[in-house]
Amino acid sequence: MLVLRLIFSIFLWISFPDLGGKSENSIDPIVSAIGSGSSSELARFFDSSISMNVNGQQGEYSKSQAEIVLKDFFKKNPSQGFSIVFQNENPGSLSTYIGEYSSTQNKFKVFIKVSQNSNSFRIYSLDFVKS
């Protein structure tokens, strides 16, 4: 009987490794990428095209163009931290987040709009607006 329980437990652990753990469907990697000022890490979460406003530089960008714009932004405004101050989450749909990005010289409000497709977040709109 003990062997049967052990086999069943192992089967459940292999089948459902994230039970009780942190979900893959979390905004945390996006928050971490912005907080560390990593445009390449953040670009992993971009939709194929993204609407962006980075301190007045506004437009529709491809994933690679958006990464270049953010790389320049992070270079000019090195991160001193980022935190989410408001969230309106709708799992399996569209969600909105508002955060505060601090650099050595300025503070920015960050507006993030994401869609959730196939268990992952895709950023379709991102704004950095000087506070």
Domain CATH for 40: 3.10.450.50
Instruction: Indicate whether 34 belongs to any domain.
Output: yes
Nearest-angstrom CA–CA distance, 85 and 95? 14
Instruction: Indicate whether 67 belongs to any domain.
Output: yes
Residue 22 pLDDT exceeds 50: no
Residue 32: partners with Cβ closer than 8 Å, 6 or more residues away = 41
Instruction: Indicate whether 5 belongs to any domain.
Output: no
Task: Indicate the range of 17-26, 60-69, 122-131 predicted with least confidence.
Answer: 17-26
Q: Edge to edge, what strands does the sheet with 120-130 contain? A: 57-62, 46-54, 120-130, 107-117, 94-103, 79-88
DSSP string, 69-86: HHHHHHHHS-EEEEEEEE
The closest of 38, 45, 37 to 123, measured between CA atoms, is: 45
Task: Count how many domains the chain has.
Answer: 1
Instruction: Indicate whether 62 belongs to any domain.
Output: yes
Instruction: Indicate whether 46 belongs to any domain.
Output: yes
Contact indicator for 94, 114 with CB cutoff of 8 Å:
yes
pLDDT one-digit tens code per residue, 65-90: 999 999 999 999 999 999 999 999 88
Taking residue 74's Cβ as centre, other Cβ atoms within 10 Å add up to 20
pLDDT at position 25 is 57
Query: Domain range spanning residue 87?
Result: 27-130
pLDDT one-digit tens code per residue, 24-71: 458 999 999 999 999 999 999 999 999 999 988 899 999 999 999 999
